[in-house]
């Protein structure tokens, strides 16, 4: 049973999400929060599998709440799925950097929301490759400063670096497999090893890591 915490400052929105989730046989709502501070406190108290996090909330927003949850949950069990009105909300990239496992638009269909929750809980991400490219173009190229080399990158094999570079450019596992002439299962194995070696939660975090560490240059998709 997947446990879900709902964090949104609009009660009507929380009610709508609760109705959707309660109709799913494999999910249960374990709490609600009307602001980011309450969301972080509740998440760290009840340890839900996933938090559906509104990005814009009063006082403590979804970005800071995500940071608190991901920093405080040492077991890395609780995942955060950002919910936003606009697909390139200026806070989305900051939330991904803070530890979120992806984001969805609030007008997402019910079935797609449920599927996304299951995907994130499995340790994967729900940011589509095309959206990954747009996030990279808009936010990483602007950047907060020069790349910061990471010693952990030295533990990657040449093939793992290659796979990470392709994932960071927004390619799906299938596209990476076709590019490297290997099976999709092999790509999944490489991605899993990269995440383990770099202590990352999912492929979204891998994308952020690749650009911020300078493993690949922003704006290069070829």
Overall average pLDDT of the 199-218 stretch: 76
Cα separation, 98 vs 85, in Å, equals 19
How far, CA to CA in Å, does 13 sit from each of 30, 119, 205? 16, 22, 28
The strand pairing partners of 105, in sequence order, are 84
Sheet arrangement for strand 79-84: 27-33, 2-7, 50-54, 79-84, 103-105
The strand pairing partners of 4, in sequence order, are 29, 50
**Range scoring the smallest mean pLDDT among 39-48, 104-113, 205-214:** 205-214
Q: Which residue has the higher pLDDT, 205 or 183?
A: 183
Which of the four pLDDT bands, split at 50, 70 and 90, describes residue 1? very high
Overall average pLDDT of the 177-189 stretch: 93
Q: Tell me, what's the pLDDT at 140?
A: 53
Model pTM greater than 0.75? no
Contact 93, 139 (CB under 8 A): yes
Q: Exposed e or buried b for every residue in 135-158, given b needs 16+ CB within 10 A? A: bbeebbeeeeeebeeeeebeebee
Cα separation, 29 vs 3, in Å, equals 6
CA 3 to chain centre: 17
**Range scoring the smallest mean pLDDT among 55-59, 82-86, 140-144, 171-175:** 140-144
CA 49 to chain centre: 14
E-only strand ranges, the chain = 2-7, 27-33, 50-54, 79-84, 103-105
Q: Tell me, what's the pLDDT at 40?
A: 95
């Amino acid at each position: 049973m997947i446990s879900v915490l709902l964090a949104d400052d609009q009660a009507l929105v929380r009610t709508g999400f609760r109705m959707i989730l309660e109709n799913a046989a494999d999910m249960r709502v374990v709490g609600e929060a009307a602001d980011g501070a309450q969301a972080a406190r509740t998440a760290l108290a009840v340890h839900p599998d996933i938090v559906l996090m509104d990005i814009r909330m009063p006082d403590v927003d979804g970005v800071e709440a995500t940071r608190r949850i991901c920093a405080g949950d040492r077991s890395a069990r609780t995942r955060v799925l950002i919910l936003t009105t606009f697909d390139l909300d200026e806070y989305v990239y900051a939330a991904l950097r803070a530890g979120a496992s992806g984001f969805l638009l609030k007008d997402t269909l019910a079935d797609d929301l449920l599927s996304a929750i299951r995907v994130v809980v499995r340790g994967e991400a729900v940011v589509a490759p095309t959206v990954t490219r747009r996030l990279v173009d808009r936010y990483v190229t602007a950047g907060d400063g020069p790349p910061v080399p990471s010693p952990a990158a030295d533990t990657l094999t040449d093939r793992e670096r290659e796979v990470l570079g392709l994932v960071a450019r927004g390619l799906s596992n299938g596209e990476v497999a076709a590019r490297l002439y290997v099976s999709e299962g092999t790509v999944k194995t490489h991605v899993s090893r990269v995440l383990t070696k770099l202590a990352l939660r999912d492929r979204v975090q891998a994308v952020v890591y690749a650009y911020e560490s300078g493993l690949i240059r922003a704006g290069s998709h070829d």
